[in-house]
A and B are shown apart, each in its own frame.
Chain A
Amino acid sequence: MKEISMHILDIAMNSISAGAKLIEIIIEESKNNNLIKIILKDNGHGMSDDTIKKAADPFYTTRTTRKVGLGIPLLKEACERCNGYFNINSEIGKGTTIECTFERDNIDRAPIGNIGDTIITIINSLDNCELLYKYITDEKSFVLSTLEVRNILEATDIKSSDILLWIKEYVSENTKTMSDY
């Protein structure tokens, strides 16, 4: 997990396992507020209050099943190390939202990483599920919606290599982070 994008991939895979029909990934990068905020929202089967509490506990999974893994504990730790916070909201039958932040100029903050690769890896794993990706800075905002891409291309399947390659470049170009070293 050298990069924030790897955490995003990891959590998005949880959303897919949770049977989500829509996954939203929002990256807000504000120079003015010295903040990077990541929001991962799905409409999957959600978690009970008890499970939410356990999700950030690395021993919940490592000792019994390996279903969720250390993914959430590692992301929480990464945020807190950078003076950020980590929050999970979830409701059974409605979905899960994870919101977490990093201090943007913190020396220990990992680079955002290759978000284009991350997005197409997620798209490739989607099954009857849409992805909405937003990148918002102080100056601009960028949105990629798989539903919109599908409609524009009049294609039911966007997992062909030329479409994925185009999405990857489109996303990467529009997520030119001012922050990556």
Chain B
Amino acid sequence: MKILDFADKLNLDPLYEASKDIEVEGVYIGDLLSIVMSKAKKNYAWITIQTHINTVAVAELLELACIIVVENMEVEEETLDKARELNIPVFKTKASAYEIAAKLYEIGIK
């Protein structure tokens, strides 16, 4: 499933919609960046409550498809600036990580 289609189905608010609309190949949920670095894979969507600029560094490093910030966490402007610079999509939702995961399962990402 393509990022935009995926974001639309999950009702995510785009904080930065990158110009790339790549295929999401998997999902990882995690808030401890070092663990995410060792577990998430290329083209994965990453669900987290973290909003620090380091999240963009992790997304860039692993070539993740996008960052999905849950629980309506405030995202720092610095983080979004870097996401724009590197063309990494960032979405936000007030849903919890569990709710998003459950929806993902429903729309067929298993």
Q: How big is the B interface, by class? A: 10 to 19
Residues of B within 8 A of A73 (CB): 54, 57
B82 CB to closest chain A CB (Å) equals 7
Check if A63 sits within 8 Å of B58, measured CB to CB.
no
Q: Does B19 make an interface contact (CB < 8 A)?
A: no
Q: How far is the CB of B71 from chain A (nearest CB, A)?
A: 15
Bound together, the chains give a CA A2 to CA B33 distance in angstroms of: 10
Q: Does B60 lie at the interface of the complex (its beta carbon under 8 Å from any beta carbon of A)? A: yes
Question: Could you tell me if B57 and A70 are in contact, using CB atoms closer than 8 angstroms?
Answer: yes
Is B109 an interface residue when CB atoms closer than 8 A count as contact?
no
- The answer for the CA separation of A26 and B67 in the assembled complex, in Å, is 37
Main secondary structure of the interface of A (DSSP, over half): helix
Cross-chain contact B34 with A62 (CB below 8 angstroms)? no
Q: Interface size of A by Cβ–Cβ distance < 8 Å?
A: 11
By the criterion CB–CB under 8 Å, are B37 and A62 in contact? no
Which residues of chain B come closer than 8 Å to A123, judged between CB atoms? Answer: none
- Per-residue CB proximity of B7-40 to A under 8 Å, as 1/0? 0000000000000000000000000111101000
A77 to B54, CA, bound (A): 8
Chain B residues with Cβ under 8 A from A59's Cβ? 57, 60, 82
Q: Which residues of B contact A74 (CB under 8 A)?
A: 33-34, 54
Q: How far apart sit A30 and B60, CA to CA, in the bound complex (Å)?
A: 38
Contact at A2–B32, with CB atoms within 8 Å? yes
Using Cβ atoms and an 8 Å threshold, which residues of chain A touch B32? 1-2
Chain A residues with CB under 8 Å of B34's CB are 1-2, 6, 70, 74
> A-B pairs with CB below 8 Å: how many?
33
Q: Are A58 and B53 interface neighbours, CB within 8 A?
A: yes
**Residue from A1, A62, A77 within 8 A of B61 (CB atoms):** A62
Residues of B within 8 A of A2 (CB): 32, 34-35
Of B35, B58, B82, the contact of A70 (CB 8 Å cutoff)? B58
Is B2 located at the chain interface by the 8 A CB criterion? no
Q: Distance in Å from the Cβ of A60 to the closest Cβ of chain B?
A: 10
Residues of A close to B60: CB separation below 8 A: 59, 62-63
How far apart are the CA atoms of A59 and B33 in the complex, in Å?
A: 15
B52: CB under 8 A from chain A? Answer: yes
What residue in chain A is nearest B35 (Cβ atoms)? Answer: A2
Q: Which 8 A-B pairs have the closest CB atoms?
A: A58-B57, A1-B34, A62-B61, A73-B54, A58-B54, A62-B57, A77-B52, A77-B54
14 other A-B residue contacts (CB within 8 Å) besides A58-B53, A59-B57, A70-B33: A1-B34, A2-B34, A58-B54, A58-B57, A59-B60, A62-B57, A62-B60, A70-B61, A73-B57, A74-B33, A74-B34, A74-B54, A77-B33, A77-B54
